[in-house]
Structure 1
Amino acid sequence: MRSPEHPTAPQLLRLWREVRSRPDLSPDISPLYPVSHNPDFPPGRQQSFLDIDTDGPYLHIARCYTDKELSPLTSLAPRSAYTPLAYFKYSQLTHFVRRLTSTAPVRFTMTVFETLCTMDPPPTHVLSSLYSLLLSSSQPKVPSYVSKWQSELPDPISEDDWGKIFSINKYSSMSLSVQLSNFKLLSRWYLTPVRLHRMFPQSTPQCWRCLADTGTYLHLWWSCPVLATYWSEILAHVADITGFKSGNSYHLILFHLVPLPVNTYKTSLLLHLLNAAKSLIPRKWKQTAAPTVKEWIEAVERIRTLEELHYSLENQYQKYFKTWFWWSEFLLKRSPPP
């Protein structure tokens, strides 16, 4: 890996880009997650952070932990006295780590792939060994909560399709709230009436909205009669804007199993429209009313504003307009005449 001019290195890197989201290679938050030289963490752009000694070219997140808790400043960067700037930088680090670990804890054991990447000096034939590991991960190993989905879905999802689902959701939006909502849906984070009934038998397993059917995950997100009008209106607008007729399929709406190439779908307007529609469901989790089209439009606009800001900073207006042109046309048609 240290010799990019090696004849097999380009093929290795190409394969890595294709399968790097596989959970068996580096799942959750790796102990090697970079703190320094990380563009999402402003102090990481500097050559050093608090003058902490690093074992390697950068400061990784596991180095900042003691007994699985963020190390205090006195332990992380011991010295006789600290400047106000040092306390400020440590506060930045604390905020960054808490935001990062709000959805998943830091792992402190490395996978075989991570261990092989960090061996110094590297073992003999390291590139061949890494390539073999990447090839063996081509069939994704799904997390444990997938089995719960499989037992609930009328039409189970294959492992290959679960790999596509994870790949799409990992880069589904620049909005952290949308990413978090998608992750919580997939990991079954929300407490349903059925799950609460198992914990507290005195509570009812019936749906909070319709008060008739069993409140399973699929029911609360998709098949509840109270949501029928909401989903039909949203899908009609989606078909009008994008020309894509999704039909009545939870595979497409909830899991993004769309008959399009993954890379194409990741940059499409359809992805943002469906993400916005799903993100409104937990906002009215225990309410009897369904979200409205007006709320959906507002949610899409929040995503669009964030996308516009990002692409303007990157000076990539062409990508922004390519994605959001038809949404602007849709809003223009809905606006009242002057």
Structure 2
Amino acid sequence: MALPNFHFYYWAVNIRCITLWSHFYGRIDCPMWVKMELSSARKGSVLALLGSPLPLPPVEWTDSPTVRHTMRVWAQFRKYFGFCDFSLFSPILSNPLFQPSLSDSAFQDWHGRGIEKFKDLFIDNRMASFAQISGKFGLPNTHFFRYLQARHFLHSQIASFPEATAATTADMFLSFHPSHKGLISVIYDKLMGIKQAPMDKIKTAWEQDLNFQLSNEVWDSILRLVNSTSLCARHSLLQFKVVHRAHISKVRLSHMYPDVDPLCDKCKRDEASLFHMFWTCPSLERYWRDVFQTLSLILNLELEPDPLIALFGTAGEDDMYFTAIKRRILSFASLLASRAVLLRWKDAAPPTHAQWLRDIMTCLDLEKIRYSVCDSNKKFEKVWGPFLKYFENLKSN
């Protein structure tokens, strides 16, 4: 899970070419390969395709297989992130969507005066009047009809007209300066930054279930624990799925298949939402109570059943009151407690406290290996000594 996203890296390599197209278009110092690719369009400008609404126009607009491939990658990127609408960063000149620009040389004059993109027709995110455009770029009054043509075109493309649409990351790439050091890495980081946006929806969904807000610090802690709680890759994957709400509840299943009963198989009373199946089901009440009583005894704390600890292994803002060792035990033990719930996900019977203890005993062998590899056997005794003592007392009783 710590590996780079090779799909995004592949996109970044291709988007780098697009930033070069956009930057060098119409410039004297344009590299030869960029000039060849930009001139490959049979009609209009290759750049016009970049800001066209999806799906993109037919591939016969260009003779170059390289350009066609790059445009396919660009379309994949836009579709994946939902950037499907017309972009104001599209060029005005030689734009097949804006037919007058193909035959009227006046738009070549616009380009020379600095009106290169449709975005240039907006001032303070609002469509400028002809007087404002003329004053800013020095257009003669004879160009008023061309202004009306451009205004009518934008009205047909933008739902918020005369207000400008908010710039997207795709728009930002079209205005990138290619002299950025490590440009591919910069683009990759931007793509990864967009990917984090869906996490806000996941965070909001958990907040609705928990009925309280998660601070950014607590949420970051939850995400970090996905990889740091256990050495076992399967455990990390399990916690990843819990955090990302990847497990299918009966309520969700009933939405997919109308003949599925959304009622919980355990309590047979309430609808089995994700949070219900993990925490609020009455049949799980005793299980979670026993888990927290055991943790309270081992850690010498007064722990009330808490879904934040049970599901994510953190006490949230109260983490500051726990030592690092106690936080470590909480995160590991709660992960195995959630795992026990998932092992009985479809069963009518809830998980048992005894099963949870057996799982911990088994997994402590793995933890011991983890510490011995680091030559930290004494630390293992220090961290897990309370649990080992608890197990010894169980055996003696």
Between Structure 1 and Structure 2, which shows a larger proportion of helix residues? 2
Alpha-carbon distance in structure 1 between the residues aligned to 2:221 and 2:364 = 24
| Residue 122 to residue 321, structure 1, CA distance change in 2 (3 Å) | farther
| Residue 157 to residue 166, structure 1, CA distance change in 2 (3 Å) | same
Alpha-carbon distance in structure 1 between the residues aligned to 2:350 and 2:276 = 13
1:170 and 2:227 matched: yes
- Counterpart of 1:250 in structure 2: which amino acid? P
Alpha-carbon distance in structure 2 between the residues aligned to 1:241 and 1:151 = 32
Q: Which runs of 5+ in 2 are unaligned?
A: 11-80, 82-168, 170-178
| Residue 286 to residue 250, structure 1, CA distance change in 2 (3 Å) | same
Equivalent runs, 1:196-207 vs 2, <5 Å: 196-207=253-264
Which secondary structure does the structure 1 equivalent of 2:212 belong to?
coil
Alpha-carbon distance in structure 2 between the residues aligned to 1:155 and 1:247 = 17
Alpha-carbon distance in structure 2 between the residues aligned to 1:284 and 1:245 = 28
1:243 and 2:217 matched: no
Paired residue for 2:368?
Answer: 308
| Residue 187 to residue 215, structure 1, CA distance change in 2 (3 Å) | same
Equivalent runs, 1:293-304 vs 2, <5 Å: 293-304=353-364
Q: Which runs of 5+ in 1 are unaligned?
A: 1-26, 34-60, 63-108, 112-120
1:231-275 deviations in Å (ceiling 9; x for gaps): 111111110011233313212221233122499268622222211
Contact 2:309 2:334 in 1 (8 A): no
1:215 and 2:272 matched: yes
Contact 1:251 1:257 in 2 (8 A): yes
User: Please, what TM-score do these two structures have when normalized by structure 2?
Assistant: 0.49
Contact 1:171 1:266 in 2 (8 A): no
1:195 and 2:249 matched: no
- State which of 260, 269, 275 in structure 1 corresponds to 2:329: 269
| Residue 263 to residue 166, structure 1, CA distance change in 2 (3 Å) | farther
Paired residue for 2:310?
Answer: 253
| Residue 248 to residue 223, structure 1, CA distance change in 2 (3 Å) | same
Contact 2:319 2:327 in 1 (8 A): no
1:30 and 2:33 matched: no
Equivalent runs, 1:127-206 vs 2, <5 Å: 143=199, 144-206=201-263
1:39-87 deviations in Å (ceiling 9; x for gaps): xxxxxxxxxxxxxxxxxxxxxx97xxxxxxxxxxxxxxxxxxxxxxxxx
1:9-43 deviations in Å (ceiling 9; x for gaps): xxxxxxxxxxxxxxxxxx9741479xxxxxxxxxx
Paired residue for 2:107?
Answer: none
| Residue 198 to residue 31, structure 1, CA distance change in 2 (3 Å) | closer
- State which of 269, 280, 289 in structure 2 corresponds to 1:232: 289
Contact 2:265 2:347 in 1 (8 A): yes
Task: Percent identity, please.
Answer: 21
Alpha-carbon distance in structure 2 between the residues aligned to 1:270 and 1:281 = 17
Which secondary structure does the structure 1 equivalent of 2:396 belong to?
coil
| Residue 265 to residue 141, structure 1, CA distance change in 2 (3 Å) | farther
Alpha-carbon distance in structure 1 between the residues aligned to 2:301 and 2:223 = 22
Which secondary structure does the structure 1 equivalent of 2:312 belong to?
coil
Corresponding residue pairs, total: 224
Alpha-carbon distance in structure 1 between the residues aligned to 2:373 and 2:218 = 34
Alpha-carbon distance in structure 2 between the residues aligned to 1:218 and 1:316 = 38
1:333 and 2:393 matched: yes
Q: Which has the higher contact order (CA 8 A, sep 6+)?
A: 1
Alpha-carbon distance in structure 1 between the residues aligned to 2:326 and 2:197 = 22
Paired residue for 2:383?
Answer: 323
1:302 deviation in Å? 2.2
Which secondary structure does the structure 2 equivalent of 1:260 belong to?
helix
Alpha-carbon distance in structure 2 between the residues aligned to 1:275 and 1:31 = 26
Contact 1:175 1:303 in 2 (8 A): no
- State which of 123, 131, 134 in structure 1 corresponds to 2:181: 123
- State which of 340, 344, 353 in structure 2 corresponds to 1:284: 344
Alpha-carbon distance in structure 2 between the residues aligned to 1:295 and 1:32 = 40
Alpha-carbon distance in structure 2 between the residues aligned to 1:274 and 1:317 = 23
Runs of at least 4 residues of structure 1 off by over 4 A? none
| Residue 219 to residue 247, structure 1, CA distance change in 2 (3 Å) | same
